[in-house]
Amino acid sequence: MPPDPIPDTLTLADVRAAAARIEGRVLRTPVLHRAVGGAALLCKAESLQPTGAFKLRGAFSLMTTLPLDTPGVVAHSSGNHAQAVAWAARELGLPAVIVMPDDAPAVKRACTEALGAEIITVGPDSDERAQRAEELARERGLVPVPPYDHLLVAAGQGTAALELVEEAGPLQRFYAPVSGGGLMAGCATVVAALCPDAEIIGVEPEDGDDTRRSLAAGERLAVPPPRTLADGLRVRRPGALTFPILQKHVARIETVTDEELMAAMGWALIQLQLVLEPSGAASLAVALREAKASGNPSPGEKPDTEAPRWGVLLSGGNVDPALLASTLEGRTP
């Protein structure tokens, strides 16, 4: 059974409590500073988590609250959430069952299996996946670990922003990608509480802007299956629990094209020495676009200590090697 009681809203205290639960279990990722245009970018490298993405924070945040006699957990995912749940389950000594689509990349399946999880394969439809996970939860008494629509998961993801602000100080802007909204719900809660004047900016793929449309409409809208390189941002509708939190805190949503994602991945390789996946480079793509529009310091000038400080959440780095290689094309000297 899911932990009870589930809080009905998310506060800074919830994120601080999650931070205490996950301490020592996730990497305190570095914040890389870069002066770009007239802005100071403070890039939080969640791509360096042991499973290559921030998802580990939410998985540990929820799973550390489970009772000791929990028979196991179940999750459905084709990507980073699967690996995070499998990793956390192994660390906590819990069996994990992951429902994956039969078209999931072989490498992601192999990574999840190597962590000791039982893989159950279904068709490519995400509804079928969710339904099978629910059946497994009922049949075997497994606890579902949702990818985003759970406040303990969102609180865990928010610890990334908590570390960023603790380390880098007050922000004037905060950029993070938005898919189901768990990462943004947690992070926005932190940034709004600690940097009340900061502008909070969500980033979605141009095709896959369900949150942008939903915020404009004032209600959760679905979009057709998005066609975007950012496989982590293909959720079709904001989460039921996360959406009201985004409504409260997010100032605006910006969108990015596949070309901008590739360019930001290439920039990260050369300027940050970091591998990012397309979803992981989405917030960087928009921050770079807006920083370049904001002016340029002279060569040799020490970066303006009064320059606006923009937090940029780099969410993940699990990328296909062929795609990574293509971000470097045309960049050869």
Q: What residues make contact with a second copy under the rule CB under 8 A?
A: 27-30, 32-34, 45, 47-48, 50, 52, 90-91, 105-107, 113-117, 266, 269-270, 272-276, 299-302, 317-318, 320-322, 324-325, 328-329, 331-333
Is 126 among the residues known to form the active site? no
> Which tokens hold the place of 78?
């084709």
- Cα-to-chain-centroid distance, residue 103: 22
Among positive and negative, which fits the CA dihedral 239, 243, 244, 246? positive
Angle of the 106-114 helix axis to the 80-92 helix axis, nearest 10? 10
Q: To the nearest whole angstrom, how small is the minimum distance from the Cβ of residue 88 to a second copy?
A: 12
CB 189 → a second copy: shortest distance, Å? 25
Whether 55 is catalytic: yes
Q: Is 208 a catalytic residue?
A: yes
For Cα atoms 165, 92, 50, give the angle at the middle one, nearest 5 degrees.
50
Indicate the pairing of strand 143-144 with strand 118-122.
Answer: unpaired
Phi, psi (rounded to 5 degrees) for 93: 75, 30
- The residue (of 115 and 176) whose beta carbon lies closer to a second copy is 115
The verdict on whether 298 is a catalytic residue reads no
3-state SS, one letter per residue, for 33-90 = EEEECCEEEEEEEHHHCCCCECHHHHHHHHHCCCCCCCCCEEEECCCHHHHHHHHHHH
Question: Which CB sits closer to a second copy, 58 or 266?
Answer: 266
How near is the Cβ of 206 to a second copy at its closest, in Å?
Answer: 25
- Rounded to the nearest whole angstrom, what is the least distance from the CB of residue 49 to a second copy in the complex? 9
* Residue of 61, 77, 279, 315 with catalytic role: 315
| Active-site position among 37, 52, 55, 266 | 55
CB closer to a second copy, 288 vs 314: 314
Residue with smaller CB distance to a second copy, 28 or 292: 28
Catalytic entry in 14, 149, 209, 210: 210
Active centre residues (catalytic)? 55, 78, 204, 208, 210, 315
